[in-house]
A and B are shown apart, each in its own frame.
Chain A
Amino acid sequence: MKPKPLHLSILTLLACSASSWAASIYTSGHADIGFAYEGFNDPYNHFHAEGAIVDDVFVADQEYDAADIVIRLPNTSATTGGSGATFLDIAPTSTYWRLRPTLSGAAADNAPYLGLASEELVPAKWLGANNVKFALTNFSGPGDFALYDSDGLYWDTADGVVTAADDVYAFFALGHSHFNWAFSAPGTYELEITMSGTHLNDGVQSATETYTFEVVPEPGTASLLGLGLLGLVARRRRPSSPAK
């Protein structure tokens, strides 16, 4: 086996997880996970870039299907303490990774500024003041996750319960807010988000999609992983070297 292709393939694997390698990568700027209603019985749960960096390019206004986007948390989003540690049920000194709820805070981390939005829904056509709901309905990942803001906690996995009743943020139509998105360990997470509401003419509408989040490890962790892989490459090269 030629060493170079092996090296490349390992690097490729490192850069792109199996679930996300074909998707676009959202790395900074403003975007929302949004609820739109495209027509009769056609709710649309989607990702909406509005002044975001996607695949290293500035995107002013574009919608993506959930499967076509990966939301990446850089290592600069690593932090400790605060209510994030409480909601993730980790020690105050433990590192976790968090997207912040303000544009300037997110920009300081060079990280995504990610919100939830129902601003494409027309209020006059939807029931109730807080009847448009965004719920976490399924979850997988190497650690725990919490969605919260300065008013409180909305979604969390550390309690072992992930249901639409337990992990819900209630909106009105035309809503738009930003949050802390906190993850307790590096790696790839899948968040299944269900949006629902009652359209006054068309009845209950619901749309469920799975969003992928990649939490980039701290440089220390990444370096160790890289060293390990380089060691593996070196080990595999040795048997075919001319010295043998």
Chain B
Amino acid sequence: MKHLLFSILAASLCAASLHAEAPVATPPGAVWAESGTITLHFAIGFQRGVDSVPAGFTAIDETHADIRVPIVSGSINGNLFGVRYSHAVGETGGGSDLPFSQALLVGNPSTANGPLDEVPDGFAFTGATAGGTLWNLEQGNVGGMIYLGINSAGTDLSKLVAWNPGQPDKFAGYLNKFIQIRLQAVRGPGHFSLWQDGDELNQPVVYMSSFMNGVDAQDALFTPAGGHDHFNWSFTQPGRYEVDWQVGTFLVVPEPGTGALLALGSLLFFRRSRRASAARPIAF
């Protein structure tokens, strides 16, 4: 019975979660929830007017765009995630929303840095090589390229529980209502990394790198819920990339009123169904 109750509660909280694995011990009164896989589509070295946009996609270039991951109503609903971008260069506010499956995030030729004389100290994690080129969608809004951020504005903070990811090297070694974004896979001709300029010169803060140790549990970003921040998005080869992410956080366990009613209703339904099915002859 207890197990059933827990299952019903968990199912109501994490409808999108397949394998909910919390990165740290669960805080009291919290439950870990994750989205399903979301896939970002990048076109690196893409030239508008020269290269053709794949069917079903809108190319987003030279504008402010955010990967939006709001967590509302106390549950993770991947249908609310997507890309929001300004319509045209110079336009701010408002903008359009696209699902990830229709948004082609462009790294145009101006994002290319190279050929590199050497890989600067501290940047080996990118997978760049001396003599090679690194395509970097820059953290600062430098113009001439996409200005790509991550945004969880609109999150209902009252439904999230504060936790400490214990990752001071990623600016996440303190208690806050964090959202974890975990890298799951990268498909493309080169390596992908997500990083930020640090407080100090030449001390980048690395969140994700497909080059360093492949893709593992360390490839994760912890961002304060409700916030909006910008990053460097680096690629070592031109071409099409698909980057898989999973979004997770600790949600508040619903008040007994809501949870118990839901569980009770589900149990009654379950028992009714069992009784009915027991009484009814099984038809083959």
Q: How far is the CA of A173 from the CA of B144 in the complex (A)?
A: 11
- 9 pairs of A and B residues whose beta carbons are closest in the complex: A104-B171, A150-B197, A122-B90, A172-B143, A103-B229, A176-B141, A177-B140, A105-B171, A107-B224
- Which of the candidate stretches B7-15, B50-58, B201-209 sits at the interface with the other chain? B201-209
**How far is it, in angstroms, between the C-alpha of A36 and the C-alpha of B229 when the chains are bound?**
21
B92 within 8 A of A: yes
- Please determine whether A129 and B143 come into contact, CB atoms closer than 8 angstroms: yes
B246 close to A (CB within 8 Å): no
| Nearest chain A residue, comparing its CB with the CB of B91 | A122
From 157 to 212 in chain B, residues with beta carbon under 8 angstroms from any chain A beta carbon are 170-174, 176, 196-205
User: Is B222 among interface residues, defined by CB-CB distance under 8 A?
Assistant: yes
State the Cβ distance, B178 to closest chain A Cβ, in Å: 9
Answer whether residue B89 sits at the interface, using C-beta atoms and an 8 A cutoff: yes
Q: Mark A41-75, 1 if CB is under 8 A from B, else 0.
A: 00000000011000000001000000000000000
Q: Which residues of B contact A108 (CB under 8 A)?
A: 171-174, 176
A101 to B203 Cα, complex, angstroms: 13
B41 within 8 A of A: no
Interface size class of A (residues with CB under 8 A): 35 or more
Indicate whether A30 sits within 8 Å of B227 (C-beta atoms), given known contacts A119-B141, A123-B89. Answer: yes
Given A150-B200, A150-B201, A180-B199, are A107 and B143 neighbors across the interface (CB < 8 Å)? no
**Judging by beta carbons under 8 Å apart, are A175 and B173 in contact?**
no
Taking Cβ atoms with an 8 Å cutoff, the residues of A that contact B are: 29-30, 50-51, 60, 82-83, 98, 100-105, 107-108, 119-125, 129, 149-152, 172-178, 180
Interface string of B227-254 (1 = CB under 8 A from A): 1111000000000000000000000000
Q: What is the bound-complex CA distance between A151 and B138, given in angstroms?
A: 12
Is A103 a contact of B223 with CB atoms below 8 Å?
Answer: yes
A175 touching B203, Cβ below 8 Å: no
Q: Are B92 and A104 closer than 8 Å at their CB atoms? A: no
Bound complex: CA of A71 vs CA of B48, how far in Å? 42
Residues in chain A near residue B64, CB distance under 8 A: 119, 174, 176
Cα of A121 to Cα of B199 in the assembled complex, Å = 28
- Which of B141, B171, B176 is the one whose CB lies under 8 Å from A174? B141
By beta carbon, the residue of chain B nearest A61 is B93
User: Which of under 10, 10 to 19, 20 to 34, or 35 or more describes the interface residues of B?
Assistant: 35 or more
Q: Say if the beta carbon of B153 comes within 8 Å of chain A.
A: yes
CA distance A68 to B196 in the complex (A): 32
A107: B residues at CB distance < 8 A: 171, 174, 176, 224, 227
Sample of 6 further A-B pairs with CB below 8 A, known A120-B92, A129-B144, A150-B202: A51-B227, A102-B205, A125-B90, A150-B201, A175-B141, A176-B141
A103 to B152, CA, bound (A): 12
Contact between chains at A104 and B228 (CB < 8 Å) = no
Residues in chain A near residue B199, CB distance under 8 A = 82, 98, 100-102, 105, 150, 180
Contact A119 B170 (CB under 8 A): no
Inter-subunit contact A83/B200 (CB<8 Å): yes
Q: Which residues of B are found within 8 Å of A101, using beta-carbon distances?
A: 197, 199
**A104 touching B229, Cβ below 8 Å:** yes
A244 to B223 alpha-carbon distance, docked (Å): 62
B125 to chain A, nearest CB (A): 15
Can you spell out 25 A-B residue pairs with CB atoms less than 8 angstroms apart? A51-B226, A51-B227, A83-B200, A102-B171, A103-B223, A104-B172, A104-B229, A105-B199, A107-B224, A108-B174, A119-B92, A122-B90, A129-B143, A150-B197, A150-B198, A150-B200, A150-B202, A150-B203, A150-B204, A152-B201, A172-B142, A172-B143, A173-B143, A176-B147, A177-B140
